[in-house]
């Protein structure tokens, strides 16, 4: 084969970093034969702001407005984990009031809900079906309205802080949550089902595409909807219970198939699950009592030497924070373990060979990558 | 694929008949949520310019810029926010000690000029000034600690039977915890007459480095143990944490550090040039100002001699302040440091006659810090009866170890710290004590804590009581006659007491103790020198070097300042330390821009 022929057969293509089909700012350097991808190398770093290093040079309280940036669509997991890690190391965890634990659980479930609505729209949007994302993004905005009311901001909430949360639940929050958000989502879900899961177009493009072999689950540390779509009931909320999850009534959603369709279906089911959990939380949450422990002076707060790893279930999978303190007023080391590294880099690169170019976007969305989480 | 799968998606068309999701309003019409974090607002009057907002801002988006003239407790600076950096986390609002900073729920602002997005809230007018809604400080969430670590006191019942110190002092753990409350704004430094490096030594205490703390303290205070026990603590009155909580216990922290070390010389790391070798300085009066001058000049190589009329150095802190507040070992420790620094101390020596003239000839400069030793007279009939005494005499006699007797029942006239001291001392001598004060309790110049302590010890305070006369009773006791006063407005600001005519109250006592202030006594100076040094009323005016109208004579302490407390005397001493060096040509003349009380350091 001549060089020209090779070139004709093998085209190199840069997909991203600025591309509507990409999940955030990252890029895939892909090689094509015809319209089939033969190889793909992921390139990240476009969002690198050195979060971990920044935090090593900031006081604990100053680190807290930073972490929400590690995943824009779902910042609260980061806020909770940083707080949980430092509370554990400082002994403050024993003083977090009951109400704060409930509000934290609520906020985590709200952010999972918002993120899953977004990515469910992304599933179909990446296939060129623009209608469903309009609905799901609007539903997500309704969740953000409640976030705005509760935390004072729509996207970067900066709400969960050491000792509890920053503000109490506003009056009438539960009612507004029910009528303005949960009821609307529930009303829309059957319509979404019709438009996605019963659509022959979506089924054709999603079933059997992007199959992740089950044996990779442990080998690569896959978590979240990706692993649950394999039929493995892995969920941090059940496996390593935290906050008020042990007191809530829910089952881990699983299915089989391990393809794009299965992962979308898991998300669809978990949206309903989140709606139910938020109802349970709002019903059982105490109405009285403090929402934050008495804090020491945050400008001079020091934490004894120690290290810990804390984890929580984000919509993408297991999110973890490894934090080392050395007795000073800053963290010695903080390592953010997000599911995106596994899903968006290692797994994606393995799945690319043999994939049709048109399926790359749906595949990436189904793995749900948050690039800043890869390049902390 | 079934037929259903082909048809089902078309159900989406049904949505065409539902209410649209999109908001038809113009952008900016939708208001932010009630606690939305929008553009900053600041109450210029409530803000104290402490800069804690700038300190906590992790983006360095806040600059403190000069806006008003600085006053005590207000730096005159106001936060200027750079919205190119701000991340809207509102930590600045949550940390704001005065509660002046907030965020409005306004979030739309269009401007073609990028530099417009840096403004000083509350100073640069904005449409959202005075917005009702937005992010506000909330009671349930506090990121600074507003509660002081409580200080242990001896039980009042117990302490009136002893001369032991009333205040127990912080333990190491308590001191570290209290020190950690500081936000290091530095408003206290400006309020302290001596401009002690307060946030620096508090930080050292917090970090567990007491040696460093002690060295920082000795930078510009050579009697810190005294200040740690009895200072009037202007610093605490301006503490930013104190605006909405308990101010830092700055005095108790200083006390904690200074009490930790017995041999000061071995801990202090003095590193200054001995520029004064071969020069001689005489200090007349061994009070706080004189001790300050002597110590800081001696470590610079000057040959300093202190002349003190009483048997012990310390001035009012020795003869005036009772030992349950400032015990003798603490004073002796500070005097030992002076001796270690090479200061010659001559006690029981009252300078008189032509001695001052001779001193001026023999020394390069003379410092006078003789204080106010002549009590004001009551000006009421019967003042000269035996049994009517002056508080200063009583306190002095007690402190130098003379036998003091006050009888069973005592009335103290006055409302200052000396009056309280006299009352509490009398209480310890076994008397029932009443304080009669002309104005209201809130007007009393005495320290609030002192008043509380006195009341706890059973001292009764009668406010608005004007002494009319003192009479001798048949059984040899005294009848103290006083009349009630009403408060009337006065053109000098605070209300003035006015005697209600025709009403007389009688109180039979054994002693009437007069504590209504004291004045200077310059009879020891040669008249021609005294004329140049002091005015007709005895007040001494000094220039920026601390020098009096007579060349080579410097002065400080109660003679010079009108605040009459130890820390002001120390500040005067510091001014003279530098002034004397300027006078002798060792230091260049003072620049206009330099502060009057110098910031000196010995490290």
Q: Does A147 touch chain B (CB under 8 A)?
A: no
Q: Name the fold adopted by A49-374.
A: Cytochrome-c3 Hydrogenase; chain B (1.10.645)
Q: Tokens 């303005």 identify what position?
A: A180
The pLDDT of residue B400 is: 87
Are B447 and B470 a contacting pair, CB within 8 Å? no
| A58: three-class secondary structure by DSSP | coil
Put simply, the answer to whether A149 touches B35 (Cβ < 8 Å) is: yes
CB A297 to CB B181 under 8 A? yes
Q: Which residue of A has its CA nearest to B149?
A: A296
A9 interfacial to chain B (CB closer than 8 Å): no
CB–CB contact A299 B184 (8 Å):
yes
Facing A191 at nearest CB: one of B15, B95, B181: B15
Under an 8 A CB cutoff, do A191 and B56 touch?
A: no
Q: Does domain B378-519 have CATH number 3.40.50.920?
A: no
Give the CATH number of domain B27-143; options: 3.30.70.3270, 3.40.640.10, 3.90.420.10, 3.40.50.300.
Answer: 3.30.70.3270
- DSSP 8-state symbol, B45: T
CA nearest B94: which of B44, B148, B42, B56? B56
Q: Give the distance from residue A28's alpha carbon to the nearest chain B alpha carbon, in angstroms.
A: 31
Asked whether this chain's domains B27-143 and B280-373+520-583 adopt the same fold, the reply is: no
Average pLDDT value for residue range A135-142: 93
Q: Torsions phi, psi of B305, nearest 5? A: -120, 130
Q: Given an 8 Å threshold on Cβ–Cβ distance, is B36 in contact with A135? A: no
pLDDT in tens, B579-602: 999 999 998 887 776 666 666 555
Cβ distance of B180 and A297 shorter than 8 Å: yes
Say whether B143 and A61 touch across the interface (CB within 8 A): yes
- Contact flag A298-B58 (C-beta cutoff 8 Å): no
pLDDT band at residue B21 under the 50/70/90 scheme? low
Of A152, A194, A297, the CB nearest to B12: A194
Structure tokens belonging to residue A368? 């749900």
For B280-373+520-583, CATH number?
Answer: 3.50.50.60
Rounded to two decimals, what is the model's pTM? 0.89
d(CA A319, CA B327): 61
Crossing angle for the helix pair A98-125 and A183-195, nearest 10 degrees? 30
The answer to whether the Cβ–Cβ distance between A148 and B52 falls below 8 Å is no
Distance of CA A254 to the CA centre of its chain: 18
- Chain A CB contacts of B206 under 8 Å are 300
pLDDT of B180 strictly over 90: yes
Question: Is B183 within 8 Å of chain A by CB?
Answer: yes
B368-393 pLDDT, tens digit each:
999 988 889 888 888 889 999 999 99
Residue B164, min C-alpha distance to chain A (Å): 34
Residue of A nearest to B181 (CA): A297
Contact A291 B140 (CB under 8 A): yes
* SS3 assignment, position B423: helix
- What is the helix (H) or strand (E) element at residue A78, kind and residue range? helix A76-90
- Using the beta-carbon criterion (under 8 Å), do A194 and B94 form an inter-chain contact? no
Establish if A155 touches chain B: CB-CB under 8 angstroms: no
Contacts of A170 in chain B (CB under 8 A): 34-35
B265-271: long-range contacts, CB 8 A cutoff, minimum separation 24:
B265/B336, B265/B337, B265/B340, B265/B341, B267/B211, B267/B214, B267/B215, B268/B214, B268/B215, B268/B218, B268/B337, B268/B602, B269/B215, B269/B603, B270/B299, B270/B602, B270/B603, B271/B602, B271/B603
Residue A150, beta-bridge partner list: none
Q: Which of A61, A208, A297, A328 to mutate to test the interface with B (most CBs of B within 10 A)?
A: A297
Q: Which member of B37, B94, B145 has the closest CB to residue A296?
A: B145
Average pLDDT, chain A: 92
* Measured distance CA(B84)–CA(B82) in Å, rounded: 5
Q: So what CATH class is B156-267?
A: mainly alpha
Q: Annotate B384-411 with DSSP letters as a single string.
A: TSTTEEEHHHHHHHHHTT------SEEE
Residues of B in contact with A171 (CB under 8 A): none
Domain boundaries, chain A: 49-374
Spatial distance between the Cα atoms of B58 and A64, rounded to a whole number of angstroms = 10
Beta partners for residue B553, in sequence order: B366
Q: What is the pLDDT of residue B591?
A: 75
Using the predicted structure, report yes or no on whether residue B1 has a pLDDT greater than 80: no
Kindly report, residue by residue over B352-372, the tens digit of the pLDDT.
Answer: 989 999 999 999 999 999 998
A261 at B interface, C-beta within 8 A: no
Q: Enumerate residues 199 to 258 of chain A having a beta carbon within 8 A of any beta carbon in chain B.
A: 199-201, 203-204
Query: Whole-angstrom Cα distance, residue A97 to residue A289?
Result: 8
Report the distance separating Cα B16 and Cα B256, nearest Å: 76
Confidence of residue A23 (pLDDT cuts 50, 70, 90): confident
Straight-line distance from the first to the last Cα atom of chain A, in angstroms, rounded to the nearest whole number: 44
Containing A205, the helix (H) or strand (E) segment is helix A200-206
For chain B, say whether A295 makes contact (Cβ under 8 Å): yes
Domain boundaries, chain B: 27-143, 156-267, 280-373+520-583, 378-519
Two tokens at B590? Answer: 């003072």
Interface check for B14 against chain A (CB to CB < 8 A): the answer is yes
Query: Kindly report the CA angle at B117 between B113 and B121, in degrees rounded to 5?
Result: 135
For residue B591, the number of C-alpha atoms closer than 13 Å in the C-beta half-sphere is: 2
A306 SS3 class: strand
- Give the number of other CB atoms < 10 A from CB of residue B65: 14
**Secondary structure (3-state) at A5:** helix
Cα separation, A66 vs B165, whole angstroms: 50
pLDDT at position B22:
66
**Among B7, B20, B21, which would you mutate to test the A interface (most chain A Cβ atoms within 10 Å of its Cβ)?**
B21
Q: From chain B, pick out residues whose CB is under 8 angstroms from the CB of A156.
A: 87-89
Tens of pLDDT along B277-332?
999 999 999 999 999 999 999 999 999 999 999 999 999 999 999 999 999 999 99
B375 and B393 in contact (C-beta within 8 Å)? yes
């Amino acid at each position: 084969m001549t060089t020209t022929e090779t070139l004709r057969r093998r085209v190199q293509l840069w997909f991203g970093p600025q591309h509507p089909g990409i999940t955030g700012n990252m890029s895939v350097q892909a090689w094509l034969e015809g319209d089939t991808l033969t190889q793909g190398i992921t390139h990240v770093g476009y969002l690198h702001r050195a979060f971990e290093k920044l935090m090593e040079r900031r006081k604990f309280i100053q680190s807290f407005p930073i972490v929400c940036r590690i995943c824009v669509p779902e910042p609260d997991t980061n806020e909770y984990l940083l707080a949980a890690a430092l509370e554990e190391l400082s002994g403050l965890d024993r003083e977090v009031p009951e109400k704060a634990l409930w509000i934290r659980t609520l906020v985590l479930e709200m952010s999972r809900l918002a993120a899953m609505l977004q990515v469910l729209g992304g599933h179909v949007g990446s296939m060129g079906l623009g209608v469903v994302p309009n609905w799901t993004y609007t539903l997500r905005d309704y969740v953000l309205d409640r976030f705005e009311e509760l935390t004072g901001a729509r996207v970067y909430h900066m709400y969960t802080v050491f000792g509890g949360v920053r503000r109490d639940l506003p009056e009438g929050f539960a009612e507004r949550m029910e009528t303005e958000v949960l009821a609307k989502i529930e009303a829309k879900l059957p319509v979404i089902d019709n438009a996605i899961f019963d659509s022959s177009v979506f089924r054709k493009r999603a079933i059997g595409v992007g199959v992740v072999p089950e044996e990779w689950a442990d080998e690569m540390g896959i978590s979240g909807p990706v692993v649950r779509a394999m039929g493995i009931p892995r969920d941090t909320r059940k496996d390593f219970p935290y906050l008020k999850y042990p007191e809530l009534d829910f089952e881990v959603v699983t299915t089989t198939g391990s393809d794009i369709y299965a992962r979308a279906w898991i998300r669809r089911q978990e949206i309903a699950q989140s709606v139910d959990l938020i109802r349970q939380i709002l019903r059982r949450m105490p109405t009285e009592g403090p929402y934050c422990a008495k804090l020491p002076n945050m400008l001079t707060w020091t934490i004894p030497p120690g290290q810990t790893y804390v984890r929580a279930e984000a919509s993408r999978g297991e999110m973890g924070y490894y934090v080392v303190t050395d007795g000073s007023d800053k963290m010695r080391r903080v390592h953010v373990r997000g599911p995106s590294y596994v899903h968006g880099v290692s797994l994606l690169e393995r799945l690319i060979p043999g994939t049709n170019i048109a399926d790359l976007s749906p595949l990436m969305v189904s793995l749900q990558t948050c690039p800043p989480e890869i390049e902390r | 694929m079934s037929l259903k799968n082909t048809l089902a998606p078309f159900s989406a068309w049904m949505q065409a008949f539902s209410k649209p999701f999109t908001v038809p309003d113009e952008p900016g019409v939708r208001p932010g949520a009630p606690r939305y974090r929008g553009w900053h607002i600041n109450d210029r009057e409530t803000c104290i310019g402490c800069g804690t907002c700038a300190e906590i801002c992790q983006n360095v988006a806040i600059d403190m810029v000069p806006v008003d003239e600085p006053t005590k407790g207000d730096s005159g600076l106001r936060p200027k926010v750079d919205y190119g950096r701000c991340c809207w986390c509102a930590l600045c609002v949550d940390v704001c000690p005065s509660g002046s900073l907030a965020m409005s729920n306004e979030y739309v602002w269009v401007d073609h000029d990028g530099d417009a997005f840096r403004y000083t809230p509350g100073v640069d007018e904005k449409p959202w000034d005075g917005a009702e809604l937005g992010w506000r400080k909330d009671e349930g969430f506090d990121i600074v600690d507003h509660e002081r670590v409580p200080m242990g006191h001896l039980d009042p019942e117990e302490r009136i039977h002893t001369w032991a110190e009333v205040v127990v002092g912080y333990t190491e753990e308590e001191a570290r915890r209290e020190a950690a409350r500081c936000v290091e704004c530095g408003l206290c430094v400006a309020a302290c007459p001596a401009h002690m490096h307060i946030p620096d030594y508090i930080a050292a205490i917090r970090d567990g480095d007491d040696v460093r703390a002690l060295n920082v303290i000795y930078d510009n205070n050579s009697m810190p143990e005294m200040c740690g026990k009895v200072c009037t603590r202007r610093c605490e009155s301006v503490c930013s944490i104190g605006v909405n909580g308990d101010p830092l216990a700055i005095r108790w922290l200083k006390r904690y550090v200074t009490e930790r070390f017995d041999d000061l010389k071995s801990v202090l790391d003095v590193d200054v040039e001995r520029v004064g070798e071969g020069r001689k300085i005489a200090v007349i009066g061994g009070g706080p100002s004189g001790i300050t001058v002597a110590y800081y000049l001696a470590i610079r190589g000057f040959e300093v001699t202190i002349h003190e009329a009483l048997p012990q150095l310390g001035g009012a802190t020795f003869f005036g302040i009772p030992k349950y507040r400032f015990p003798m070992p603490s004073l002796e420790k500070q005097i030992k440091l002076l001796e270690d620094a090479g200061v010659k101390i001559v006690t029981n020596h009252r300078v008189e006659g032509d001695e001052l003239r001779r001193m001026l000839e023999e020394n390069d400069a003379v410092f006078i810090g003789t204080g106010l030793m002549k009590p004001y007279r009551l000006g009421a009939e019967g003042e000269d009866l035996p049994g009517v005494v002056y508080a200063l005499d009583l306190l002095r006699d007690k402190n130098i170890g003379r036998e003091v007797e006050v009888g069973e029942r005592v009335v103290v006239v006055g409302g200052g710290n000396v009056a309280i001291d006299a009352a509490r001392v009398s209480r310890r001598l076994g008397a029932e004590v009443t304080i009669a004060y002309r104005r209201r309790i809130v007007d009393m110049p005495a320290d609030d804590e002192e008043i509380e302590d006195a009341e706890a010890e059973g001292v009764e305070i009668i406010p608005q009581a004007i002494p009319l006369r003192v009479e001798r009773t048949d059984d040899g006791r005294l009848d103290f006659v006083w009349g009630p006063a009403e408060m009337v407005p006065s053109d000098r600001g605070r209300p003035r007491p006015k005697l209600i005519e025709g009403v007389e109250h009688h109180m039979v006592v054994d002693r009437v103790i007069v504590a209504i202030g004291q004045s200077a006594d310059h009879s020891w100076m040669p008249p021609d020198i005294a004329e140049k040094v002091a005015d007709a009323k005895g007040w001494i005016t000094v220039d920026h070097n601390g020098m009096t109208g007579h060349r080579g004579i410097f002065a400080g302490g109660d003679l010079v300042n009108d605040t009459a407390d130890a820390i002001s005397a120390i500040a005067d001493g510091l001014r003279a330390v530098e002034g004397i060096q300027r006078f002798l040509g060792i230091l260049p003349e003072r620049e206009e821009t330099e502060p009057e009380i110098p910031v000196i350091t010995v490290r």
